[in-house]
Amino acid sequence: MKKRLPLLLLMAAVMHLGGFAQMKSNLIFFTEQGERFTVILNGIRQNPTPETNVKVTDLVAPNYKLKVIFEDPALGFVDKNLMLNQGFETTVVIRKNNKNEYVVRWMSEVPIAQALPPAPNQQVVVYTTQAPPPATVTQTTTTVTETYAEPQQGNVSMGININDPGMGVNFNVNVNGSEVSSGSQVTTTQTTTSYSTTTTTGGYQPEQSQPVQQAYVLPGYNGPVGCPYPMQPGDFQSVKQSIASKSFDDTRLTIAKQVIASNCLLSDQVKEIMLLFSFEDTRLELAKYAYGYTYDIGNYYRLNDAFTFESTIEELNDYMNGYRR
């Protein structure tokens, strides 16, 4: 009996740890000023449409890489590594700090068993490792047919004869005219397009659904993704020209970081910006900074051609290996 006791305690401990490992967490995000946003966890979009208050349920991992993308492109996005207390519902607020920059800040947490029901204006989604399906587009066509009467040429004949011999009157009247109407049809077609998405909400139905942007796919690339949607070629060329127009590397670097911090780039676009700088140290600094804002991070090795020294390539590689996404 004494020999069985340690075994039973060990089995109980394993079962307890196994149950703890399966504990799920919830995350609530909301903006202080009501800005609409989309939640990206580990590179996967969670809520199908931008909202001001989003609750993500059934999170099983203890930490996630978070990206908050605002509906208004001028507001940019926020990156943060989240550490969760499993078995709890954690609430975080998205707001501006003293530097007028958007940040994600912990606000409160409560055991899931004690959590309140979803708020009326709260969008509730179950954590997924696959992006939500695109919006369903419904088209309704209405055909209206109207009939109008139009005049058409024709012949009308009318005769009047008055003959009174006693009064010496003989009067004849003949009238010819054209007054015949015919019908014509005019057909008008009206098409109404509406968008709808499959969304689980806490009793709240949005008044107007919006189409969801398709996930970007880089042809021929199947590697890891660092950000959701890279800059369009036309926008990138305008940014590149703006950076190149400055005379000093310090000024160019400042502008480049401002652009990178609020956008998503391709590895080749990062390389093009690097080549605008004269010094190896500046190129390395930019490459490190842009790594967290690059879509195809699996192609980042292409930046090695922009360096002269092997030691610089090794330093960038060490930085990438130690980077936490």
- Assigned domain for 223 exists: no
144 and 242, same structural domain? Answer: no
176 and 251, same structural domain? Answer: no
Q: What is the pLDDT of residue 81?
A: 87
Residue 1 has pLDDT above 80, yes or no: no
Q: Which has the higher per-residue pLDDT, 217 or 271?
A: 271
DSSP 128: -
Averaged pLDDT for residues 56-69: 90
Other Cβ atoms closer than 10 A to 182: 10
Q: What is the pLDDT of residue 20?
A: 44
- Assigned domain for 208 exists: no
CA 164 to the chain's CA centroid: 96
- Assigned domain for 220 exists: no
Dist. CA 285–CA 300, nearest whole Å: 14
Q: 244 is written with which tokens?
A: 């190149």
The CA R_g of the chain, rounded to the nearest whole Å, is: 36
Averaged pLDDT for residues 40-50: 91
Residue 129 φ then ψ, to 5°: -100, 5
First-to-last alpha carbon distance for the chain, in angstroms, is 51
Residue 145 has pLDDT above 50, yes or no: yes
Q: What is the pLDDT of residue 115?
A: 85
pTM strictly above 0.85: no
Tell me which H or E stretch contains 38. strand 37-41
- Assigned domain for 197 exists: no
Tell me the per-residue pLDDT of 196-233, one tens digit each, with 9 for 90 and over: 544 444 444 444 444 555 678 888 998 899 888 899 89
| DSSP 3-state of 86 | coil
- Number of domains the chain contains: 3
114 and 26, same structural domain? Answer: yes
- Assigned domain for 199 exists: no
Q: Which has the higher per-residue pLDDT, 17 or 271?
A: 271
Q: What is the pLDDT of residue 138?
A: 52
63 and 103, same structural domain? Answer: yes
Dist. CA 148–CA 134, nearest whole Å: 45
Averaged pLDDT for residues 115-126: 88
Q: What is the pLDDT of residue 216?
A: 81
Q: 53 is written with which tokens?
A: 């208050």
240 and 285, same structural domain? Answer: yes
Q: What is the pLDDT of residue 308?
A: 93
The band of 105, judged by pLDDT with boundaries at 50, 70 and 90, is very high
Averaged pLDDT for residues 127-138: 64
Q: 36 is written with which tokens?
A: 């609409």
Dist. CA 137–CA 148, nearest whole Å: 36
Tell me which H or E stretch contains 222. none
- Assigned domain for 253 exists: yes
- Residue from 80, 252, 292 nearest 300 by CA: 292
Residue 176 has pLDDT above 90, yes or no: no
Sorted by sequence, the CB contacts under 8 Å of residue 115 that are 6+ apart come out as 26, 89
